[in-house]
Amino acid sequence: MTKTVHHWIGGKTVEGTSGNWGPVTDPATGAVTTQVALASVDEVDAAVAAAKDAFATWGTSSLAQRTTILFKFRALLDANRDAIAELIVAEHGKVHSDALGEVARGLEIVDLACGITTQLKGELSTQVSNRVDVASIRQPVGVVAGITPFNFPAMVPMWMFPIAIATGNTFILKPSEKDPSPSLKIAELLAEAGLPDGVFNVLHGDKVAVDRLLEHPDVSAISFVGSTPIARYIHTTASANGKRVQALGGAKNHMLVLPDADLDAAADAAVSAAYGSAGERCMAISAVVAVGSVGDELVQKIRERAEKIKIGPGTDPTSEMGPLITAVHRDKVASYVHGAAAEGCEVVLDGTGYTVEGHENGHWIGLSLLDHVPTSAKAYQDEIFGPVLCVLRAETYEEGLALINASPFGNGTAIFTRDGGAARRFQLEVEAGMVGVNVPIPVPVGYHSFGGWKDSLFGDHHIYGNDGVHFYTRGKVVTTRWPDPSEAPAGVDLGFPRNH
């Protein structure tokens, strides 16, 4: 028996009526476990109408009311970490401990939203001119939508909605149709925390739903996280329709290893960051650039570690790496490894053809390691989004930096070195939005913002942190004069007002 997943609109489950359904598989078994309703244009319109109605009161609700609900939600989220992680494992396939990690990082943004009172304090300048004061305030933008990818079904929505609703907006989440259940659990917890109906809605769907959100006149802003081609499309389309938009795209994250680095630490970091979540992370390290003479030793150390990784179902506490999201994706990842030798790569580890006993229909693939990868190889140029690590060689720091900066992507990057001066140069010279110094996955904490450069982000705002607060609010500046009753009126003056 497959279960069905429906929409959450206006504070309750709303059955899908479009007649269109999307299959959700358990990646560890390959079995279709769930059918998710895919919204029609009319269903999108119903969700937007519910969010618009709710905005009429939520947009002017007190900060005390909002933060009281958010603190309750935080406690419920904390108590339900395991339940959410189980849903992630069942539909995404990542291992349970990794799923708990994504819930923890999402919770950080809820923490930030609980303290929104500080972020929304505004600014006041008194007596800027005679008896004139100026206040800068920020107000919500209205109904906002978030369109999210499959690889973090709990964390990425939490990059968006806690700040959106804390700042007074109402929210429509369009999660990935590949793993839709965690978002519904979150909706239930928000309702239990006392969030008024319609403030947070979940609309399942595909391109039909997304396109309607992008054009709907009552949607003011779009947050998107996903692949680069779709991010570019979302940014172009939503902007053309007059919406505020932030669209985070794909990545090819490089790790530069200088000759003076601690090679054991660098190899540990490369293996953890390349193969964690089977490489299905936008901050995964997918290219190591070995500088000078360290290449051979580093590749050997990576290989030794990679060979020990235990692959298995995410429900098995001894598994370190789970399956890929779909069989189609698994086959695409394998095709990069199959084509690598012909493109001039040295295939050190070939993880294709891997299977797990008792789970033969799961979307398995083992770990692959490609060395001496030329920049012309497709395995280097494309975002593979699987457990395939490319190692490139560079003679000098400058050559390695130039290689990284020539990439069209600029999400995260890292340098491994003991040389503070080189690390400082790298921070300033590398063209990427997030930089790690001896830190392979430099995902910023909640009170800093997350975002890449170049083809990894379209729009002016990074996500969460101060940028998130700015994205979900509009600035307003109020200039006030209260006349002194003892003074005569200033009289008519057609000159441009000056401060004195």
Hey, which residues are catalytic here?
A: 282
| Rounded Cα gap, residues 466 and 456, in angstroms | 19
C-alpha dist (Å) from residue 52 to 11, 134, 238, 399, 436 = 13, 31, 18, 53, 41
Q: Which is nearer to ligand NAD, 10 or 410 (CB)?
A: 410
Structure tokens at 68: 């009281």
Angstrom CA distances, 471 to 148, 223, 246, 355, stand at 17, 9, 8, 45
Residue 215 Cβ, how far from ligand NAD at the closest point, in Å? 12
What is the C-alpha separation between 418 and 407, in angstroms, rounded? 25
Ramachandran bin of 361, using left for φ above 0, alpha for ψ from -120 to 50, beta for the remaining angles: alpha
- Pick the closer one to ligand NAD by CB: 238 or 367: 238
Distance in Å, CB of 62 to ligand NAD, minimum: 33
Rounded CA-CA distance 285/267 in Å is: 12
Q: Which two tokens stand for residue 229?
A: 């081609």
What count of other Cβ atoms lies within 10 Å of the Cβ of residue 485? 5
- Inter-residue contact 465 to 126 (CB < 8 Å): no
- Least separation in angstroms between residue 344's CB and ligand NAD is 25
Residue with smaller CB distance to ligand NAD, 120 or 225: 225
Going by C-alpha positions, the residue among 302, 303, 312, 300 that lies closest to residue 268 is 302
Q: Which is nearer to ligand NAD, 135 or 208 (CB)?
A: 208
CB of 426 or CB of 450, closer to ligand NAD: 450
Q: Which residues bind ligand NAD (CB under 6 A)?
A: 147-152, 156, 174, 176-177, 206-207, 210, 225-227, 230, 248-251, 282, 383, 385, 411, 452, 456
Cα distance between residue 79 and residue 444, in whole Å: 24
Q: Which is nearer to ligand NAD, 120 or 160 (CB)?
A: 160
Nearest distance in Å: CB 463, ligand NAD: 7
Tokens found for residue 124 = 């006041």
CB of 238 to ligand NAD, least distance (A): 11
Is the CB of residue 377 less than 8 Å from the CB of residue 335? no
Q: Which two tokens mark 457?
A: 């982000």
Q: Residue 226 Cβ, how far from ligand NAD at the closest point, in Å?
A: 3
DSSP SS3 for 189:
helix
